[in-house]
Every structure is written in C-alpha cells, then in structure tokens.
C-alpha cells in the first residue's frame, strides 16, 4: 500500500516538471503592442483637450500655470478663510454673551465691558481675515486674466509685409524679435507709415534698418470710428505723404512690418487696452496706443502716441533685459 502511494507521488511530480511542447506555437504580437503608438497619440490629444477645456472662463492649463506662479496663494486663502469663519463663530457667541450681560440676571456672564471687548476683537478678526481672503481671490483673478491675455497675445496671427513670408503667430517671434503693436485711427497709421517709409529729415531715413538691427517688429493696427479693428494693409500701402514726407515708399520698412490677420482675435485682445486708455482720458484714435512685447513674450510697457523709435534703437537691449537675461544669447552679447 505504501509502495503504491509512493509511486503515485513520483509520477505526479514527473508530469509536473515535464518540458512544455513547443510544436505549433506561433509568435503572436499583442494587440496592445500593435496599437501602442496609437494609444500614446490618443492619450496626448486627450490630455491637450483636457488642459484646453474652459471652466468659468479659464482653461485648466491657465489655472495650473497660475498655481505654479503663486504656489502658496491657495494655502493663504484657506488660512484666511478658515480664520474669518472662526472669528465669525466667536463673534456670534460673544455677541450673545454681551446681550446677556446687558440684560442682566445671568450669573455665568462676565461684565458688559469685558463682553464688548470680546465682541470688538472678534469683529476685527472677522473683518480683517475676510478682507485678506477677498484680496487673495482678487489677486488670483488678476493673475488668471493676465495669463489668459498673454495666451491670447501669443495666438494672434500676423501677415508679414514681405511678400515671400507666410502668416505667423506672435508666439513664433519669441526669442527672435520684440514686437510693438501700434493701434490707432487712420491718421495715426498714416503718421506711423510716414515716420518709417519716407524721408522727413534732411538725410535718408534709416530707421527700418536700425530697428531690424535690434530685432524690433512693428504691427500697425487700424481702428475705425467705433474702435473696431479693420484691415490695415491697404491703409498702410495707400497712405498719402504730406509736404515734409519725401521719397515715400510703403515697402521701405517691410522687413520690420507685420499686418494683423484674423481680426476677430485682434479685436478681442486690444479691446481692453482701448477701454483702459479711454478711461484715462486718452484719445485713442488720434494719439494711438502702443504695446511693447519683450522677446520672452511679456509686456514691457503700454503707452500712447507714436513709438519712440530713436530711444528704442539705443536702449532696447537693456530695457527689456535681453542683454542680461536671455539664455543662449552669449554669442551675440558676450559673456559665459
């Protein structure tokens, strides 16, 4: 009997370690491996779509960027909010105590003077922490608006004046050129055109070449009487020179000129700047407004009037920090 059991165990062990049969086995690739690239591309597109989805007027990507720029803002907001709520709760109970002290007849109530002090302290805490929380919300909203407008600025489409060039976005000019957006009425655009494309002094106008030398690109934006962005190229090309404008040639500054394209996007972007200038009492159509964009895509300054080209040629490298803060430009500016 014992011998039979022993033989049975040995046979079972031998069958358990038997070499697997390889005949008829084929190298079948998993469908997941075949579709790996497709899955990666699909996942990337889905992530981009998710980041671009708007919530309360701002995309997820913009909100994430705001959190990166101000990593402790939400912590401060939570602290101030909870503190304000705690102060309000304490104010409620201290107000009840003050009422009891004023009525009288309660043995467990402190004197009215002490109760009023507690009410004042809790009121001040609730008001102070509430204002700090509201300030954090306002700052965060301002950051989101700035980031959103910066993203819209990067997506603005321009049509270079040079005939062989194709349409580009302002994002394509980052690290390459400084962009000056000059918006105004018909007379403002004519004056801007004359300042670049005609000889207004005794010698020859060399401003276009000088601006190209400091990587400046100008985008003239024509506004109609209702402050709507309209087609600018024809107004630039057909500008009428005045008595002091000699040798006018609308193509002379083509190397530094781009015309706005997809005007609806330009209207959306420039509308707030026009309203701000109007609110400050400036005549936007006749005086015009200028927005100077640094090489890193940030706004250097907003101003009114024609761009001060002479000053820009002499100080632009220092004004926008490119000479000191643009990595990779050592060959141009020297240094390590």
- List, for residues 185-222, the tens digit of each pLDDT value: 999 999 999 988 888 776 677 888 888 888 899 999 99
Could you tell me if 288 and 276 are in contact, meaning their C-beta atoms sit under 8 angstroms apart?
no
- List, for residues 241-250, the tens digit of each pLDDT value: 888 878 888 8
Residue 56 pLDDT? 62
Q: Is the pLDDT of residue 79 over 80?
A: yes
Judged on CB neighbours under 10 Å (0-12, 13-18, 19+), 289 is buried
- List, for residues 279-292, the tens digit of each pLDDT value: 999 999 999 999 99
Residue 321 pLDDT? 57
- Asked whether the whole model's pTM tops 0.85, one would answer no
For residues 68-91, give the mean pLDDT: 91
Strand, coil or helix: 47: helix
pLDDT band at residue 138 under the 50/70/90 scheme: very high
pLDDT band at residue 335 under the 50/70/90 scheme: very low
- Which letter, b or e, does each residue of 162-197 get, where b requires 16 or more Cβ atoms within 10 Å of its Cβ? eeeeeeebbeebbeebbbbbbbbbbebbbbbbbbbb
Closest CA to 183 of 299, 102, 287, 89: 287
- List, for residues 295-327, the tens digit of each pLDDT value: 888 888 899 999 888 777 777 666 555 554 555
Q: Is the pLDDT of residue 60 over 90?
A: no
pLDDT band at residue 54 under the 50/70/90 scheme: low
């Amino acid at each position: 009997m014992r011998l039979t059991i022993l033989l049975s165990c040995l046979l079972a062990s031998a069958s358990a370690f038997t070499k697997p049969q390889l005949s008829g086995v084929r190298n079948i690739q998993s469908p997941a491996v075949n579709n790996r690239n497709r899955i990666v591309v699909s996942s990337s597109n889905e992530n981009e779509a998710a980041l671009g989805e708007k919530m309360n007027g701002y995309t997820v990507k913009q909100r994430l960027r705001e959190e990166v720029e101000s990593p402790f803002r939400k912590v401060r907001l939570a602290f101030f909010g909870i503190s304000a709520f705690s102060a309000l709760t304490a104010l409620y109970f201290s107000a009840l105590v003050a009422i009891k002290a004023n009525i009288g007849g309660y043995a467990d109530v402190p004197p009215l003077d002490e109760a009023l002090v507690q009410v004042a302290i809790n009121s001040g805490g609730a008001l102070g922490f509430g204002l700090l929380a509201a300030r954090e919300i306002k700052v965060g909203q301002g950051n989101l608006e700035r980031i959103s407008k910066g993203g819209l600025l990067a997506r603005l489409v321009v049509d270079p004046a040079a005939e062989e060039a194709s349409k580009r976005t302002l994002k394509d000019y980052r690290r390459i050129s400084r962009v000056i957006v000059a918006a105004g009425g018909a007379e403002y655009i004519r004056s801007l055109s004359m300042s670049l494309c005609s000889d207004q002094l005794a010698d020859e106008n060399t401003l276009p070449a000088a601006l190209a030398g400091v990587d400046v690109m100008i985008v003239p934006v024509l506004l109609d009487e209702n402050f709507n962005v309209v087609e600018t190229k024809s107004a630039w090309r057909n500008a009428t020179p005045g008595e002091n404008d000699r040798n006018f040639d609308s193509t002379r500054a083509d190397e530094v000129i781009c015309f706005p394209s997809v005007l609806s996007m330009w209207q959306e972007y420039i509308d707030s700047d026009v309203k701000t200038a109007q609110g400050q009492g400036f005549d936007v159509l006749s005086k015009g407004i200028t927005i100077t964009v640094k090489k890193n895509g940030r706004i250097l300054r907003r101003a009114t009037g024609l761009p001060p080209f002479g000053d820009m040629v002499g100080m632009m490298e220092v004004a926008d920090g490119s000479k000191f803060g643009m990595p990779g430009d050592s060959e141009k500016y020297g240094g390590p």
